[in-house]
Chains A and B, each alone.
Chain A
Amino acid sequence: MDLLTKFIDTYPVFLKGMLLTFEITIVSIFIAIFIGLFFAFLKISNIKILEWIADLYIFLVRGTPLVVQIFIFYFGLTAFNISDFLAVVLGLAFHNGAYIAEIFRGAIQSIDHGQMEAGRSLGMTIGLTMRRIILPQASRRALPPLGNQFIIALKDSSLASFIGMYELFNVATTHGSLKYDYMSYLLIVAVYYLILVLFFSIIVRMIEKKMSSSD
């Protein structure tokens, strides 16, 4: 039996898996952006204790395997009647938040100090200048590395299969073991991932183009 017929035979269940992969990625990245922004602000706050808190968080995320983090969130949260989906999403958000915090911090600090000065010299508060002047420029600069992080998060979401989420990778390995044919279904799932990554890349490229109108 060739790969194509296997692909056609299984596409409804793979599409379902793809949808779940997509949902896990989108929701976790969405939350991770807020976590990232929050810790980025702690890091640039110039208040030692807040910087330490952010450093500790980043150290914890970087210093432990993602799969361990996901399991800790899974066992830690489902004990409180939190759904598997939410536990996985929060685990991934916790993980990506650290990388996104560093992306935002770098982007904010790369904006010329004169921008803050100019805003404040016009009577704008630090907060208003941050919101109206610094962040719009910083997000534009953060977009390429953020897009990169989206794609990493998308691929990392495959680890949700370890706690039984029926997302793309789990669909593939389940089929593989049922049919004693891992190779075919792994090749098929690779195609689905490539499609998703391509989709994300195009979206990011479109946003980048739209935002670069002032250059």
Chain B
Amino acid sequence: MEEKTISRGGISLGDIPVWSWLVAALLLLAFFMIMSSSGGLLAPYIGQLAGATDYLHEFAHDGRHLLGVPCH
């Protein structure tokens, strides 16, 4: 019984299509944008946009505290 459930296959990592890796990367990026206080850290790379993410961070402020990520 146990043998059977173990040998059940499942897709291998190689079978996962490229698009789903891309989607995963995008979701991960969005996750970090909202969850980390990255405004300052990203400024050298995205310039003006960093100001917009700061704005978002202030809006999401209480959520970030309650979800447990460092904020202040």
Query: Are A and B interaction partners?
Result: no
